[in-house]
Amino acid sequence: MQFIVSSSQLLKQLQVLVGIVNTNNTLPILDNFLFELSTNKLKITASDIETIMSTSIDVQSDYKGAIAINARLLLEAIKTFPEQPLTFVVKDNHTVEISSDFGKYDMAYYDGSEFPKTVNLEAPSKTVISSEILATAINYTVFATGNDDLRPVMSGVFFQFNSDSLTFVATDAHKLVKYERTDLTAKDAAEFIMPKKPLSILKNILTTAESDVTIEYNETNAKFSFDKVVLTCRLIDGKYPNYDAVIPKENPNKLTVNRASFLNSVRRASIFSSKSTHQIRLKMAGTELNISAEDVDFSNKADERLTCNFEGDDMQIGFNSKFLIEMLNNLSSEEILIEMSVPNRAGILTPMDGKEEGENILMLVMPVMLNN
């Protein structure tokens, strides 16, 4: 078995796949990339058992076969080559020889048959979505997922597809993001929870994708196919919390403010906040927004004023500055609207501009108790 491949094209594919490979695997075979050769096509696969991802590349070869090569070692080696053809020759002594313009290098390989097989989805539903929209949906939601092992359903993004819209939701109980597309629909209603890791990998490669993404899913697995990439992953088992119940419906107090100015003020004030609570205080009255923070233990204090548009009764509310900064960073509009009811109920952030037709973005952040 042998083949000739472009070093830069091979590197590009390996860099896409290496995110799947865990640093400490229970099965040694998972430390490897699976190379499956079929005449002039090379299919490369990486797996961590839960997620399996493959991509294909054109090569020069008349051979067929499958071997597994150490992922980190191969990637480190391929990174060092300028663009040139590399020749891979599989030898009888369980090594593969790589020939370049500079010399020859031998690496051990494993039998390809030991590598986990890709799951075939039984009776899947199917939805096609543009790669740009899916990347946007992941970008808006994945940062709001939780890390609590006791509540695994919150460690993923909830996909809710029906004949009216496609909705993506993430929450960690302190913050919540709901991204909805009313201009897209699914033939069959379906709900499933996607783990964070495969979504983060998809987010990075969807930005350069040229084709739409076909999503196939059943009760246990989901499969994403686009360009020459196929990613299959096990879904998070469990029932997602009723997120609509925590979104306050009556919010008479409405604050409109420039996003960039507000973000910079919150960033500055947070430096002076308590390192345990990260609490900042928003005080609203008429056209003035007062942003303050204090760390009593170290006598640190910040107080800023911003011009804003506020409708409602004068009020004060406390938020965790880290959560606010994350949300403001993930929005791109010039102006944002923050809707509130009372100081012990969640605030809702929505962009005032820059949205596409059929696009709805809602971010919710829970308040923190003010220590007066």
Burial of 237 (0-12, 13-18, 19+ CB in 10 A): exposed
Q: Does residue 372 have a pLDDT over 70?
A: no
> Is 57 contained in some domain?
yes
CB 358 within 8 A of CB 316: no
Question: Are 268 and 209 in a shared domain?
Answer: no
Say which CATH number the domain at 351 has. 3.10.150.10
Q: Does residue 308 have a pLDDT over 70?
A: yes
> Is 255 contained in some domain?
yes
**CA dist., res. 265 & res. 346, Å (int):** 21
Question: Are 197 and 216 in a shared domain?
Answer: yes
> Is 119 contained in some domain?
no
- Find the mean pLDDT for residues 73-86: 97
What average pLDDT does the chain have? 95
Q: Which of 70, 75, 80 is nearest to 101 (CA)?
A: 80
Burial of 16 (0-12, 13-18, 19+ CB in 10 A): buried
**CA dist., res. 58 & res. 12, Å (int):** 13
Look up residue 11 and give its amino acid. Answer: L
Question: Are 41 and 142 in a shared domain?
Answer: no
Q: Which of 170, 220, 173 is nearest to 196 (CA)?
A: 170
pLDDT band (50, 70, 90) for residue 89? very high
The pLDDT of residue 370 is: 82
Question: Are 141 and 206 in a shared domain?
Answer: yes
The pLDDT of residue 286 is: 87
CB 234 within 8 A of CB 220: yes
In which domain, by residue range, is 164 found?
Answer: 125-174+183-244
Question: Are 30 and 93 in a shared domain?
Answer: yes
- Find the mean pLDDT for residues 186-209: 93
> Is 326 contained in some domain?
yes
Total of domains in the chain: 3
Question: Are 220 and 310 in a shared domain?
Answer: no
pLDDT band (50, 70, 90) for residue 188? confident
> 93-113: b or e for each residue (b if 16 or more CB lie within 10 Å)?
eeebebebeeeeeeeebbebe
Residue-wise pLDDT for 289-304, tens only, equals 999 999 988 999 999 9
**Residue position matching structure tokens 């070692």:** 73
321-330 and 259-271 are packed helices; what angle lies between their axes, rounded to 10 degrees? 150
**CA dist., res. 35 & res. 25, Å (int):** 19
Residue-wise pLDDT for 5-47, tens only, equals 999 999 999 999 999 999 888 899 999 999 999 989 999 999 9
**CA dist., res. 264 & res. 271, Å (int):** 11
**CA dist., res. 77 & res. 92, Å (int):** 22
> Is 211 contained in some domain?
yes
- Tell which of 198, 216, 244 closes a domain: 244
> Is 34 contained in some domain?
yes
Question: Are 314 and 342 in a shared domain?
Answer: yes
Question: Are 164 and 93 in a shared domain?
Answer: no
Percentage of residues in the chain with pLDDT exceeding 90?
92
Alpha-carbon torsion (269, 251, 352, 326), positive or negative: positive
- Tell which of 92, 114, 136 closes a domain: 114
- Name the pTM for this structure: 0.92
